[in-house]
Chain A
Amino acid sequence: MAGKTLDFVGATGRAALRFAATVGEWGVLMQDTIRGLRAVRIWGGLVFEQMMRIGVASVPIALFIAAFTGIVLALQASYTFTGAVPVYLVGSLVGKTMIIELGPVLTGLALAGRVGASIAAELGTMRVTEQIDALETMAYDPAAYLVLPRVLAGAVMFPAVTLLASTLGIVAGWLTAIQLLEMSTPEFVRGLEAFFVPFDVVFSVIKSFSFGLTVTSLGCFFGFRTRGGAAGVGRAATSAVVASSMVILVFDAFWAAVLL
């Protein structure tokens, strides 16, 4: 009994140390990435390409998710708001929820699956095929060449994609309200305006910016530490998605606690 307890405590300690070591390795990578900012010659020409792959290419899936989220929000709001609750609050709920919560979070989660896994798999493949080692051998800063363009692209494009997704979600909610819920446009707009403050947009941008940094940096990190061939690449992609999703949700709560 005492031996099993000791084993459990030991396992917990090992997990904590492993987590701390992982965070430390991520920190070192981020330090190298920040240091690579000086090598504009290396990453400058790669950022737009990464923006295209991370941001522009993700717009359709982000808009698809946001549109149906807006529809569902409007329908569920009308289902919930009965009796004394005025119907214009459907607009309030759709607008507020899409801007400050579901727009950034769902876009972040969707792009964590698409972008994070893609980056981890790409860099993991480069790692197991020793391409990253070759870059280091050629005195090419892999952080500046591989990580920095992706992180910058994620940091810039996540907010842009999120804003578009939130807007389309609100439009989808409005169309649902006037077509399926017998609401008028003025009613929906009244609810939309009632609780809107410009800080909601700023809050959404801050959240999605942090999500972009998280997804791309963790994708790069797990890709960089890939071991064990093709299976390791798969594990790296999975780890990147899982870790990115968890951190997104943690950041979601963090920003809500700090900024709201």
Chain B
Amino acid sequence: MRRNEVWVGVVILLSVVVAVAGSFWLRGYRLTRGTTTVEALFSGVGQLPDGASVKLRGVTIGRVNGIAVEPDGTAVRVGLAINADVQLPADAAVLIAPESMFGDWGAEIVSRSANPRLDFFEPSDPGVLPGFSIPDLSRLTATADQIADNLATITDRVEIAFTQETAENLRLVIENVGGVSEQLAALVDAQIGAVDDLVENVRTSTSQVSEAAALATLTLAEVERLLSGGVVDSIVGDTRVTAAEFRRLATDLRETTTGLSTTLRYADSTLVRFERIGRELETGEGTLAHLLADSTVAVQTQSVLMQLTLLLEDFRENPGRYVRLSIF
């Protein structure tokens, strides 16, 4: 009898220990590390079960420990039992999402600043973490159904609005669009030719610019060489001397021009006199005209000139006859 009691006790205790310890182990409770509880508020928790895993950067650090709707019904408060030695982010928030397509939901502690697009629930208590639940597949499917219904409604309305007149207008629009397209094509063809010319010109210009650049490079090199050799200084000095010469030449030229103007005035006056003499000659007035018109006068003049010549020769040969010098 005593042996029976022992065996029965062993089986019962073993089964109880296995059941309790196994349950705690599968729920993630470990005796070796302490836990601390943080709370988060959500607008909804999807299919998150009590006891679901809590992860930080993909590593399980705890379990969901209690899910309850707030007394005012506006939010759901979720307790998270996490390892006490884990340091949470400064702006920690809790994200609830399916871990797979098979209904196993979990919570993950994330940095809120790293998820700016998520509309986290804003708790009034700063000690409570903000939470957000990602819509599950069924909710997305329901939304897709709603979108499909809306599309069906729109399709129906389009079908109603699409009458024969609309079709005719649409045909005309299509024809117009076709014409516009042809014109655009022609314009594009023309523009393509112009663009080709432009490209060719640009290419030529580029080539010339390249050559000019090369030449400029050579020139600059030469200039640099000249600068380094002191030739420029010499050229500048020569140029300065030449400029002074030019300045003096310009002064002389200005003076010459002034003299020339005087000469021209004299010439003009002389020509006037010559004109008057010419007129007198034509009219037969004056001495010269008389000389020309009367040969006697000319002969007498010639005789006077001859006598004058003889007189000068005699004066040169015999000056004493005409000049007497007496000093005392």
List residues of chain A with CB under 8 Å of any chain B CB.
45, 48-49, 51-52, 55-56, 59, 84-86, 89, 95, 156-157, 159-164, 167, 192-198, 201, 205
30 A-B contact pairs sorted by A residue (CB < 8 Å): A48-B1, A48-B4, A48-B5, A48-B8, A49-B1, A51-B4, A52-B4, A52-B7, A55-B8, A56-B8, A56-B11, A86-B100, A86-B102, A157-B8, A159-B15, A160-B12, A162-B15, A163-B18, A163-B19, A164-B11, A164-B15, A164-B18, A167-B22, A193-B27, A193-B53, A194-B104, A196-B23, A197-B49, A201-B19, A205-B19
Q: Are B8 and A51 in contact (CB under 8 A)?
A: yes
B108 nearest CB across to chain A (Å): 15
When distances are taken between beta carbons in the complex, the residues of chain B under 8 Å from A201 are: 19, 22-23
Q: Are A193 and B18 within 8 A (Cβ)?
A: no
Contact with A along B1-29 (1 / 0, CB 8 A): 10011011011101110110011001110
Known: A51-B4, A160-B12. 19 other contacts (CB 8 A): A45-B1, A49-B1, A51-B8, A52-B7, A52-B8, A56-B7, A56-B11, A157-B8, A159-B15, A160-B14, A160-B16, A163-B19, A164-B15, A193-B26, A194-B104, A195-B103, A195-B104, A196-B26, A196-B27
Q: Which residues of B contact A (CB under 8 A)?
A: 1, 4-5, 7-8, 10-12, 14-16, 18-19, 22-23, 26-28, 49-51, 53, 99-104
Closest A residue, CB atoms, query B51: A197
- CB nearest to B101 among chain A residues: A84
**Residues of the B chain whose Cβ atoms lie less than 8 Å from the Cβ of A48:** 1, 4-5, 8
Query: How far does the Cβ of A215 sit from chain B's closest Cβ, in whole Å?
Result: 17
Which of B18, B26, B50, B99 is in CB contact (< 8 Å) with A192? Answer: B26
Q: B11 touching A160 by the CB < 8 A rule?
A: yes
A193 to B10, CA, bound (A): 27
Residues of B within 8 A of A84 (CB): 101
A256 to B19, CA, bound (A): 20
Docked complex Cα distance between A86 and B14 (Å): 33
Q: How far is the CA of A52 from the CA of B10 in the complex (A)?
A: 11
Q: Which residue of A lies closest to B8 (CB)?
A: A51
Q: B99 — which chain A residues lie within 8 A by C-beta?
A: 194
Is A167 within 8 A of B18, CB to CB? yes
Q: Report A150 CB to chain B, min CB distance, Å.
A: 14
| Residue pair A161, B102 in contact (C-beta under 8 Å) | no
A161 cross-chain contacts in B, Cβ below 8 A = 11, 15
- Nearest 5 A-B pairs (CB), nearest first? A160-B15, A163-B15, A52-B4, A194-B104, A51-B8
- Contact status A198-B8, CB under 8 Å: no
Q: How far is the CB of A110 from chain B (nearest CB, A)?
A: 16
Q: Are B12 and A156 in contact (CB under 8 A)?
A: yes
Residues from chain A with a CB closer than 8 A to the CB of B51 are 196-198
Closest Cβ of chain B to A41, distance in Å, is 16
Whether A193 touches B28, Cβ cut-off 8 Å, given contacts A48-B8, A163-B18, is yes
Instruction: Report the minimum CB–CB distance from A234 to chain B (whole Å).
Output: 29
Docked complex Cα distance between A85 and B102 (Å): 9
The residue in chain B whose Cβ has the minimal distance to the Cβ of A193 is B26
Residues of B contacting A49 in the complex (Cβ-Cβ under 8 angstroms): 1, 4
A175, chain B: closest CB distance, angstroms: 16
Bound-state Cα–Cα, A48 to B7, Å: 9
Least CB distance from A162 to B in Å reads 8
Among residues of A, the one whose C-beta sits closest to the C-beta of B102 is A89
Q: Shortest CB–CB separation between residue B28 and chain A, in angstroms?
A: 7
A203 to chain B, nearest CB (A): 12
Cα-based distance from A119 to B254 in the complex (angstroms):
156
Q: How far is the CB of A98 from chain B (nearest CB, A)?
A: 11
Given the interface pairs A49-B4, A163-B18, A195-B104, the reply to whether A55 lies near B11 with Cβ below 8 Å is yes
State the CA gap A205–B51 with chains docked (Å). Answer: 20
Alpha-carbon gap, A59 to B11, bound state (A) = 8
Distance, CA A163 to CA B23, complexed state (A): 11
Shortest C-beta distance, B33 to chain A (Å), equals 17
Nearest chain B CB to A133's CB is how many angstroms away? 28
**Distance to closest chain B CB from A60 (angstroms):** 11
**A-side contacts of B49, CB under 8 Å:** 197
Task: Kindly list chain B residues whose C-beta atoms are within 8 Å of the C-beta of A167.
Answer: 18-19, 22
Chain A residue contacts of B28, Cβ below 8 A: 193
Kindly state the separation between the CA atoms of A192 and B5 in the bound complex, as whole angstroms.
34
The residue among B22, B26, B53 with the most chain A CB atoms within 10 A of its own CB is B26
A115 to B228, CA, bound (A): 121
CB contacts (< 8 Å) of A45 on chain B: these are 1
Taking CB atoms, residues of chain B closer than 8 Å to A197 are: 49-51
